[in-house]
Amino acid sequence: MKTIVIGVIGADVHAVGNKIIEYTLTKEGFNVVNVGVLSSQEDFINAAIETSASLILVSSLYGHGELDCRGMREKCEEAGLDHILLYVGGNIVVGKQDFDEVESRFKNMGFNRVYPPGVKIDDVLDTIKLDLGGI
């Protein structure tokens, strides 16, 4: 069973969406470790180390995800998580910006998958399963 660490980064507190993600991924057979809201990069990374997670899924709805996620890939590599998958989704930047540009910036920051506002976790399940090589 693959482990996925989820949570809400920074000063964001959108707990309902985070719980929906946890419920959906658990129902699909993943071991889900939810670090909750108001989480730091270190919270995600430490949970991933402790559980040998394969993927970290970062949520952010308050528009400051870019600031909160900057440097996360480097911190993962410093912690020995060289190959962990990093996903991010939600309203991850301030204001309305071209999503292709936003996606490009996050991929340059080391995120493997970047999702715009409004994408439901159900829409991401096939990609997660593909990236993890099955459950």
Catalytic site residues? 12, 14
- CA atoms lying within 13 Å on the CB side of residue 52: 2
- Chain-centre distance for alpha carbon 55: 8
* Size of the chain, expressed as the number of residues it contains: 135
The two three-digit tokens of residue 94, written as one number: 């301030």
Distinct helix (H) and strand (E) counts, the chain: 6, 5
CA distance 66 to 102: 9
